[in-house]
Amino acid sequence: MKTIDLPVRGMDCASCAAHVRDALEGVEGVESADVLVAAEKAIVTYDEARADLARLADAVAAAGYSVPADALPGSDGAAGLAARQAGAQAFGRGALGVTGLAFGAVLLVVVAGEWLGLFEAATHRIPFAVGVVIVALVGWPAFVGVVRAALRRRVISHTLMMVGVLAALVVGQWVTAAVVAFFMRVGDFVEGFTLGKGRRALRDLAALAPATARVERGGRAEEVPVAEVRAGDVVVVRPGERIPVDGVVVDGGASIEQAAITGEAMPVDAGPGTEVFAATIVRGGALRVRTRRVGSDATFGRILRMVEDAEANRGRVQSFADRFSGWYLPVVGGIALLTFLIRRDPLATAAVLVVACSCAFAIATPVAMLATIGAAARRGLLIKGGAAIEALARADVILVDKTGTFTIGRPGVHDVISLDGSGPDEVLRLAASAERDSEHPLAAAIRGEASRRGIALESPLEFRSLEGSGVVATVAGAAVVVGSARALGLDTLPPEAAHLAEEGATTAFVSRGGELVGVIGLRDEVRPEVPAAVAALREMGFDSIELLTGDNEAAAAPVARALGISFRAGLLPEDKIQVVEAHRAKGRTVVMIGDGVNDAPALARADVGIAMGAAGSDLALEVAHVALMRDDWSLVPDAFRTARRTMRVVKGNFGLTGIYNVVGLALAAVGILPPILAAAAQSVPDLGILGNSARLLRSR
C-alpha cells in the first residue's frame, strides 16, 4: 500500500470534501481517503498494482473538481495550460458569485418592500423567465451541490431549501425562490472565506521551518536543502538562525527560544548533550548539532501534519439544521404525496411544499449565529461560526496552556536577595549594569525592574557573553558575572536560591570580584484577571479545568496551586493531543485554550479551540474556533455564557417555526391555504425569528 498527498482544487465546503472522498474511495484499489478542505488535498492510501495517479485524478474530475496537472507524471507541457484553465474557472466562479450576491441584495430590498406593500407593482413587471434566470444565477453553485449529494443519496441542509426553490418556481413565486437561493449562497460564501484563512495559516506555519541547513561534509560546512540532510549529519547553526533539524548538541553553547515547540517563554540554555528541535531560534552563541530527525519526522514537521490532520479527525459538528432536514424533508414529501393522492389537487400539493419550505428553517440558526458573532466581535470576542457556538454551549472540560495563556508570557523579576549585606538595590544595579548591552529576555527583565525602581546604571566595560549561560562585564572597575550556577562555578546552591528554584523561579546569580553578592528570581506572571475568570467558570458548572504545559513541574505547580486546578507538566504537542482525545473518548466536549504554535494541534483537535489574541501566534489564531482579540481572560466565561444564550434562542426559533409550519401544513393540505397565500405567509415566521434573534445583539 502507498499513501500520497493528492492536491485537489475547487473545494469550498464540507459537502465538497464528502463528494471527493466518495469518488476516490470508489476507485478500485483505494483503501482509504481523507479529504482536508483547508489544506486543499486528499490523503489517499491505495494499492499501486490496481490504481495509479491518473485514475485518482479522473475520479476527482468526475466529481466536479480537479487535480493540478503538475501533480501528475508526464505533465510538464500541460502545467501552463492547466494553470490558465484553473484561473479562468476561478474567474468564472468569482464573477458568477458576485453577480448572484448583487442580485440577491437587490431582491432583499424588493422583498422588504413587498412586506410593506411598496414594490408589489414593480415585481410584477419583471417577466417570470427573467426571474428564473436570476434564481439560477444566485443559487447555481449551491444547486450543483444538492444535485451531487442527491446522486450519492445524501441529504444536506441545501436539499430542503432546493425543494423550496423548485416549489416556489412551480407556482410562479420566483421572488421567494430567489430569496431562498440567496441564503444558500451566503452560507457558502462565509464558509469559503473561513477556509481561505485556514489555508493561509498552514502556508505561514510551513514557512517557519528553514529550507536549508549548513552541514559539515568533507571538513567544511556546506549549505544544502533540508530534504538532503540525513540522520547522523552534523549541522552548524549560527546566532539568530533557526535550527533546521531535531538533534543533540555536540559542541558550542547558546540560549534557544523554544516557544514554537514547547510554548516556554524562557530561553533554554543549551550545551553539549542538550536535545534541540527544528524551527527553534539560537541566541547568544553557535551550535553544532548531530541530526536525529528531519523534515516531516522532526517535531515541528509532526506539528504541521497534526494541524492538517485535525480537520479530518476532530469530528465534524453537524448543524442542527442539517440533522433536522434529514427527517423533515421526507415527512414533508410524504404529506405532499398524500395530499395529491387524496385530493388530486396539484395546487394544494404545491402549497404544502411552499409553506413547509419556508426560509424560516434556513435562517432559524444563521440569523441567531450572525447576531451573536456581531455582538461578540464588538466586545473583542471573535467566534468563527455556528459550529463553535454549538460546541461551546455543551462544553464540560476546559484544558489550558500556561505560558502566554494563564500567564503573561514574559519573565519578570519577583525576588532580589542580597547575600553579602549590600542590599537588593545594589545587587540589581550590578546585574542590570552588567546586562546593559545584552539582548537576552532575562536581561531585559532585570533592566526593566531596575528602571522601575529608579536605579541609575553604570556603563559596562569589556562585556562578553558566556555562551548562553550568562554574561561577564567590568562595572565600576570590578568584574561582575551574571548568570546560571554553572557560569559562576557554583557546586552547591545557597538555601535562598534553592528555595526560589523549588517555587519554579529562574535564578540569576550575581558575583563581584569573584564573590557571590546576590541572587535574582524571575518567573512568568499569572494574568491578574485569571483568578476571577476561573472562579466564574466554576460558578457556571465547570468542575474539570486542567493546566497543560511544556514547562517543568516546578514552574507549573505554583500556578495550578494558586488557581486551585490540576496540571500536567513537561508535555509536547502530541502529548496535549492525547489528553484532548482521552477526554473526548469519554464522551466529553473539550475546550482547549492556548496561544502558541505548539498549542495549534490541540486547538484544532479539540471540540473548540480558543486562542489568546494580542500575544497569540498567527497560526493559533487561525486554527482556533474562537479568538480573544485582546488578552483579557474575562472574555473566556463571556464566550461560554454567550454560546449558551445563543443556543436557547436557536431552539426557540425552531420551536416557533415548527409550530407555525405544522399549522400551515394542515391548512395547505385541506385547501384552506392556496399556494399564493402560502408563499406570502412565509414572511411571518421570518419576522418572528428576526425579532427573537435581535435580543442577541444586546450585550450582557
DSSP calls for 90-151: HHHHHHHHHHHHHHHHHHHHHHHHHHTTSSHHHHHHS-HHHHHHHHHHHHHHHHHHHHHHHH
C-alpha cell read off for 523? 518567573
What is the reported pLDDT for 425? 93
Is residue 539 predicted with pLDDT exceeding 90? yes
C-alpha cell read off for 113? 418592500
Given its phi and psi angles, is residue 536 left (phi above 0), alpha (psi -120 to 50 degrees) or beta?
alpha
Is residue 52 predicted with pLDDT exceeding 70? yes
C-alpha cell read off for 601? 494541534
H/E element holding 417?
strand 407-418
* Beta carbons within 8 Å of 528's beta carbon, 6+ residues apart: none
Predicted confidence band of residue 160 (pLDDT cuts 50, 70, 90) = low
pLDDT in tens, 82-105: 333 333 344 334 444 444 454 445
- Asked if 211 contacts 233 with a C-beta cutoff of 8 angstroms, the reply is no
pLDDT in tens, 212-230: 999 998 888 899 999 899 9
What is the reported pLDDT for 304? 65
Q: Of 143-157, 331-345, 499-513, which range is least confident? A: 143-157
Is pLDDT larger for residue 355 or for residue 612? 612
Stretch 93-121: mean pLDDT, rounded? 48
Is pLDDT larger for residue 369 or for residue 307? 369
The string of DSSP letters for 316-329 reads: ----HHHHHHHHHH
H/E element holding 464?
strand 461-465
Is residue 37 predicted with pLDDT exceeding 70? no
Q: Of 145-154, 264-273, 288-297, which range is least confident? A: 145-154
pLDDT in tens, 426-448: 999 999 999 888 878 788 889 99
* Beta carbons within 8 Å of 179's beta carbon, 6+ residues apart: 104, 107, 108, 111, 359
C-alpha cell read off for 116? 410593506
Is pLDDT larger for residue 568 or for residue 690? 568
Stretch 467-488: mean pLDDT, rounded? 85
pLDDT in tens, 322-380: 556 557 777 888 888 898 899 887 778 777 876 775 556 656 776 677 677 767 766 77
What is the reported pLDDT for 65? 81
pLDDT in tens, 617-666: 556 666 778 888 777 888 899 999 999 998 898 888 888 888 888 888 89
Least Cα distance to 632 among 563, 537, 532, 699 occurs for 532
The CA angle 452-455-457, to the nearest 5 degrees, is 120
What is the reported pLDDT for 100? 47
What is the reported pLDDT for 229? 92
Q: Of 301-310, 360-369, 523-532, which range is least confident? A: 301-310
Catalytic amino acids?
401
Stretch 402-425: mean pLDDT, rounded? 85
What is the reported pLDDT for 532? 93
Enter the pTM of the model: 0.58
Give the chain's mean pLDDT. Answer: 77
What is the reported pLDDT for 522? 87
What is the reported pLDDT for 176? 63
Stretch 259-275: mean pLDDT, rounded? 73
Least Cα distance to 466 among 441, 485, 492 occurs for 485
Q: Of 97-106, 140-149, 166-175, 501-510, which range is least confident? A: 97-106
Rg (CA), the chain: 31
Stretch 104-110: mean pLDDT, rounded? 49
Least Cα distance to 468 among 489, 440, 447, 446 occurs for 440
Stretch 459-472: mean pLDDT, rounded? 81
What is the reported pLDDT for 77? 35
